[in-house]
C-alpha cells in the first residue's frame, strides 16, 4: 500500500479516529495504557527497580531513568522546582571534633571556618511568583570544604510527599499549574494537587506540614532546615552510623498568618528575599546551628517506622538533636544571576565520611540533580562556574563540551598513561579519597515497596496531635481554604476520607467547613510496625518546641503611627531602646515628609500609610502620646485600619499616653479611660511619664511574636 501523500488522502484504516488521523501528533490518553517513550507498556510506575525490598535502586531501571530525565529537562533555563530563590554567602564552624562519628574534614577542627553558600527557595512557583505563598521552602547549603564540595540539599520540612523518587514527576506535575489553563500559580489549592495526594496516602504526613504554619515562615532566619533523608556518617575506622541533619535557627522559629501572607504577596512579593538581603547589609546576620540525630546501625530496626522512608521523621524525644556547629550568613551575592541562579546543588556532592543510604527517594535524587544541571546550565561543565567551583584544584581527564572555560595543559587525557608521568595519580585513603561504605547488597530485582513503608498515617497523626491549640486551628482553616478551592466534589470527599485515617475529629472539623458530612470513624486505619514511637512530640510545634532561644527583637520591624503634635520625648526614648535591641523602626504618617512634634521637634517621616504597605509589613505597631496627634490619628481611617489589622493578626500593639485614643477608636477592645500602665492581650499601654517601663513590656511582647488568644475575637473589621 502506498503511503498517503497528505492529510487529505483518503483514509485506508478504521482503527484511528478522524481527529487522530488528521492530527497524529495530538496525544489522547483516554482508554490507553501507560508506556515508555519507546511505546513499551509499563506495568508499575510507583516504585523504582531495587536489589531487594530495601536495597539500592538499580541504574538498569530504564523507566526510572527515562521518567526522571524527561522531568529534569522540562524547563529551560528556569529550575523545574525551586525556581524562586534567594541566597547568601557565609561560613560554618564545628564546635568540637566529630571524629568519633565521621572522617569528614570540615567536621574536625573548631578553628576552621568552612565557606558556605546557602540558597533558600519556594518549590512550586515560577521565578516571578511571590515569596510568601503557602509552600515548602528549600534550604540548600554548599560547603566548600578542603576535601571538595559537600551539598546538603534539604527543605524546611523534615519529610517529603513521596517514598520513591520515581513518583517525583507525578507529584510536581500535580502541584504545578494545571496543564490546560496554566493556573494556579504558586498554589496547591487546586484539583490536580488534591487529586494526587488523595490517591497517594503516603503524602498525608507531608500534607499536614504543608497546611501548617511551617509553610508560612516569617523570614528565612526564622525557619528550621532539614536534610530530609537518613544519611550515613563513617569514621576513620570504617564504623558507620545513621544520621539525620537539622538546621536550628538561632533567632527561633516564627511564622506569618494566612491572611497576612496573601496581602504581603501583593504589597511586596519579595518580602523574604528583601528581609534576607537587608538583614545582612545592616550586619544582622542569620545564624543556624547544625544538629545531628545519630542512630547506631544496630538500632536501625527498633523504631515503629523505617529509617529509609522519607515520609517519616525521627522524633526528637526518641533521638535528641545534638548541636555540633554554627553557620553564619554574612555576605550577599555580588550578582544574582552569576551566583544565586547559577549555583548547582547536587545530592551526589559528598565528601569522604558522609555517605548515602538506600532511601529510594534519595537514590533517585542522586541521579536527578546532576542530570538537571546538564540542561539548565548548558552542559557538563557547570562545575567550573565560579559559584560551583570547589576550593581544591580539580584534576581529571574530563574533556571539552559546552562552556569549557578551564584550559587543560596536560599531554595525556586518559588513565593510565605514561606520557603525562601517570598524572593525575589515584588518591589513597590518606589523601582524602572518597570511600564508599561497604554495605552488603543482595536481593532479587523487584519493583515493589518494603512492607515497613506501609504505614502512611501514624506520623501524620503524631503531627496533628503535637500542635498547640492555635496551630491546630490554623491547620484546620488551611485545609478548609485549600479544599474549598477544589471544584470536584469527589476529590474533596476522598481527601476527607484520608484525613479520617489521621484524626477523625480533625477530619470532621475540616469537613464541616466545606459542607461535607463529618466522618464518624477512620476509613482504613493502618497500624504502625512494632517499635519505638511517641504519641506526642512538642518539638514539632512552633509554640511548644523545647529549648527555645531567648526572645529577641533583633530583625523585627516596628511601625510608629505619628501626626502633628506627637510626644517627641517619649517616642525618642522608646525608639532608641528598640533600635538598640536590633529592631527597625519606621515612622508612618498620612504623607511622607515631616511632622511637628512636641518641644519644637521636627520628625522625618519616610513612610506613608500607602507606601509602608500597611501593618502586614511590620511585626508590631506603636502609637506614641500627644493629644493633638492622637485625635488626628483617630480621625484617619487608614490609621484605624492599621491598628485593627495588626490586632486581627495577633501582633503586639503599644500605646503611650494619649495614644490610647486611637486604640479605642480602632475597636480593638481597650476599655481603659485613663492612661494607667498595663498589658492586655498583647496590647501594651502606659502613662506618658512611664516610657521606660513601657519599653520593657513592649519589647517583651515583640519577643513573644503573637498573641493567639485574640483569634477568637471575630468583631474586628480588618
Closest C-alpha among 123, 607, 118, 527 to residue 343: 118
Distances (CA, A) of 638 to 517, 644, 661: 42, 10, 15
Rounded to whole angstroms, the Cα distance separating 122 from 457 reads: 26
Closest C-alpha among 683, 693, 625, 674 to residue 651: 683
Catalytic residue among 82, 89, 205, 705: 82
Rounded to whole angstroms, the Cα distance separating 129 from 135 reads: 12
**What is the longest distance spanned by two Cα atoms in the chain?**
102
Closest C-alpha among 212, 208, 173 to residue 191: 173
Please give the grid coordinates belonging to residue 655. Answer: 500605646
Beta strands in 556-708 (DSSP E): 557-561, 584-589, 593-596, 602-605, 607-608, 620-623, 653-656, 678-680, 683-686
Residue 220: CB partners within 8 Å, gap ≥ 6? 86, 120, 137, 272, 275, 276, 286
Please give the grid coordinates belonging to residue 227. Answer: 536534610
Rounded to whole angstroms, the Cα distance separating 172 from 75 reads: 13
Residue indicated by cell numbers 498525608: 204
Closest C-alpha among 150, 135, 124 to residue 227: 150
Residue 593: CB partners within 8 Å, gap ≥ 6? 604, 605
- The DSSP-derived string for 116-135 is EEEEEEESSS-TTS-TTSSS
- Between β-strands 114-122 and 137-145, what pairing exists: parallel, antiparallel or unpaired? antiparallel
Element housing 363 (H / E) = helix 360-376
Rounded to whole angstroms, the Cα distance separating 506 from 496 reads: 9
Buried b (16+ CB within 10 A) or exposed e, 404-431: eeeeeeeeeeeeeeeebeeebeeeeeee
Rounded to whole angstroms, the Cα distance separating 540 from 650 reads: 22
CB 208 within 8 A of CB 186: no
- Between β-strands 445-446 and 354-355, what pairing exists: parallel, antiparallel or unpaired? unpaired
Catalytic residue among 63, 89, 149, 155: 155
Closest C-alpha among 613, 610, 558 to residue 587: 558
Q: Is the peptide bond before 615 cis (omega within 30 degrees of 0)?
A: no
Rounded to whole angstroms, the Cα distance separating 273 from 122 reads: 11
Rounded to whole angstroms, the Cα distance separating 613 from 397 reads: 56
Question: What does the chain come to in residues?
Answer: 718
Establish whether 155 is a catalytic residue. yes
Residue 620: CB partners within 8 Å, gap ≥ 6? 556, 557, 558, 559, 646, 651, 652, 653, 654, 698, 701, 702
Distances (CA, A) of 436 to 100, 152, 204, 299: 18, 18, 34, 21
Establish whether 396 is a catalytic residue. no
Using DSSP, state whether 446 is helix, strand or coil: strand
Residue indicated by cell numbers 561504605: 437
**Which residues have a catalytic role annotated?**
82, 155
Amino acid at each position: 500500500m502506498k503511503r498517503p501523500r497528505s492529510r487529505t488522502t483518503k483514509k485506508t484504516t478504521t482503527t484511528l479516529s478522524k481527529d487522530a488521523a488528521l492530527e497524529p501528533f495530538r496525544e489522547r490518553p483516554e482508554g490507553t495504557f501507560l508506556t515508555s517513550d519507546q511505546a513499551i507498556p509499563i506495568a508499575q510506575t510507583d516504585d523504582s527497580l531495587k536489589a531487594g525490598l530495601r536495597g539500592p535502586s538499580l541504574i538498569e531501571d530504564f523507566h526510572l531513568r527515562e521518567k526522571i530525565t524527561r522531568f529534569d529537562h522540562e524547563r529551560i533555563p528556569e529550575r523545574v522546582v525551586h525556581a524562586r530563590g534567594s541566597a547568601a554567602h557565609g561560613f560554618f564552624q564545628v564546635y568540637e571534633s566529630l571524629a568519633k562519628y565521621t572522617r569528614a574534614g570540615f567536621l574536625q577542627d573548631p578553628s576552621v571556618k568552612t565557606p558556605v553558600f546557602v540558597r533558600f527557595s519556594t518549590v512550586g512557583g515560577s521565578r516571578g511568583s511571590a515569596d510568601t505563598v503557602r509552600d515548602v521552602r528549600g534550604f540548600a547549603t554548599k560547603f566548600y570544604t578542603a576535601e571538595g564540595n559537600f551539598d546538603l540539599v534539604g527543605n524546611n520540612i523534615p519529610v517529603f510527599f513521596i517514598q520513591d523518587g520515581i513518583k517525583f514527576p507525578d507529584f510536581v506535575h500535580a502541584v504545578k499549574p494545571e496543564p490546560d489553563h496554566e493556573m494556579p500559580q504558586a498554589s496547591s489549592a487546586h484539583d490536580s494537587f488534591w487529586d494526587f495526594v488523595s490517591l497517594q496516602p503516603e503524602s498525608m504526613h507531608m500534607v499536614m506540614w504543608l497546611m501548617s504554619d511551617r509553610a508560612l515562615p516569617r523570614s528565612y532566619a526564622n525557619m528550621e532546615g532539614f536534610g530530609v533523608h537518613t544519611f550515613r556518617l563513617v569514621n576513620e575506622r570504617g564504623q558507620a552510623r545513621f544520621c539525620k541533619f537539622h538546621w536550628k535557627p538561632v533567632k527561633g522559629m516564627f511564622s506569618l498568618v494566612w491572611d497576612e501572607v496573601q496581602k504581603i504577596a501583593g504589597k511586596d512579593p519579595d518580602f523574604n528575599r528583601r528581609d534576607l538581603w537587608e538583614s545582612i547589609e545592616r550586619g544582622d546576620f542569620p545564624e543556624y546551628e547544625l544538629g545531628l540525630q545519630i542512630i547506631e546501625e544496630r538500632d536501625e530496626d527498633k523504631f515503629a517506622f523505617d529509617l529509609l522512608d522519607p515520609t517519616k521523621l525521627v522524633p526528637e524525644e526518641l533521638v535528641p538533636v545534638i548541636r555540633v556547629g554554627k553557620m553564619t550568613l554574612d555576605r550577599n551575592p555580588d550578582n544574582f544571576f552569576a551566583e544565586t541562579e547559577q549555583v548547582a546543588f547536587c545530592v551526589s556532592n559528598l565528601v569522604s565520611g558522609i555517605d548515602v543510604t538506600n532511601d529510594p527517594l534519595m537514590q533517585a535524587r542522586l541521579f536527578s540533580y546532576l542530570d538537571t544541571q546538564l540542561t539548565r546550565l548548558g552542559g557538563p561543565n557547570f562545575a567550573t562556574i565560579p559559584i560551583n567551583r570547589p576550593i581544591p584544584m580539580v584534576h581529571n581527564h574530563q574533556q571539552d563540551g559546552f562552556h569549557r572555560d578551564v584550559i587543560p595543559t596536560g599531554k595525556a587525557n586518559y588513565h593510565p598513561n605514561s606520557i603525562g608521568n601517570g598524572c593525575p595519580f589515584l588518591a589513597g585513603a590518606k589523601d582524602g579519597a572518597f570511600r564508599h561504605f561497604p554495605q552488603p547488597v543482595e536481593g532479587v530485582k523487584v519493583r515493589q515497596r518494603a512492607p515497613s513503608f506501609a504505614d502512611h498515617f501514624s506520623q501524620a497523626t503524631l503531627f496533628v496531635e503535637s500542635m498547640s491549640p492555635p496551630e491546630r486551628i490554623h491547620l484546620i482553616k488551611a485545609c478548609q481554604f485549600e479544599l474549598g478551592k477544589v471544584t470536584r466534589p469527589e476529590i474533596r470527599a476522598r481527601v476527607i476520607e484520608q484525613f479520617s485515617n489521621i484524626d477523625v475529629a480533625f477530619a470532621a472539623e475540616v469537613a464541616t467547613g466545606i459542607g461535607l458530612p463529618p466522618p464518624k470513624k477512620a476509613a482504613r486505619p493502618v497500624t504502625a510496625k512494632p517499635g519505638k514511637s511517641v504519641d506526642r512530640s512538642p518539638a514539632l510545634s512552633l509554640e511548644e518546641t523545647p529549648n527555645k532561644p531567648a526572645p529577641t527583637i533583633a530583625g523585627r520591624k516596628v511601625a510608629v503611627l505619628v501626626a502633628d503634635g506627637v510626644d517627641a520625648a517619649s517616642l525618642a526614648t522608646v525608639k532608641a531602646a528598640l533600635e538598640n535591641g536590633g529592631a527597625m523602626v519606621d515612622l508612618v504618617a498620612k504623607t511622607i515628609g515631616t511632622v511637628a512634634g512636641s518641644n519644637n521637634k521636627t520628625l522625618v517621616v519616610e513612610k506613608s500609610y500607602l507606601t509602608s504597605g500597611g501593618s502586614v509589613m511590620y511585626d508590631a505597631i506603636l502609637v506614641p502620646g500627644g493629644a493633638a496627634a492622637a485625635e488626628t490619628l483617630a480621625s484617619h481611617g487608614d490609621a484605624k485600619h492599621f491598628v485593627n489589622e495588626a490586632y486581627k493578626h495577633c501582633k503586639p500593639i503599644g500605646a503611650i499616653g494619649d495614644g490610647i485614643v486611637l486604640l479605642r477608636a480602632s475597636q480593638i477592645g481597650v476599655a481603659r479611660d485613663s492612661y494607667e500602665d498595663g498589658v492586655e492581650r498583647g496590647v501594651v499601654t502606659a502613662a506618658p511619664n512611664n516610657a521606660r517601663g513601657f519599653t520593657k513590656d513592649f519589647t517583651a511582647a515583640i519577643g513573644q511574636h503573637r498573641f493567639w488568644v485574640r483569634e477568637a475575637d471575630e468583631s474586628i473589621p480588618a
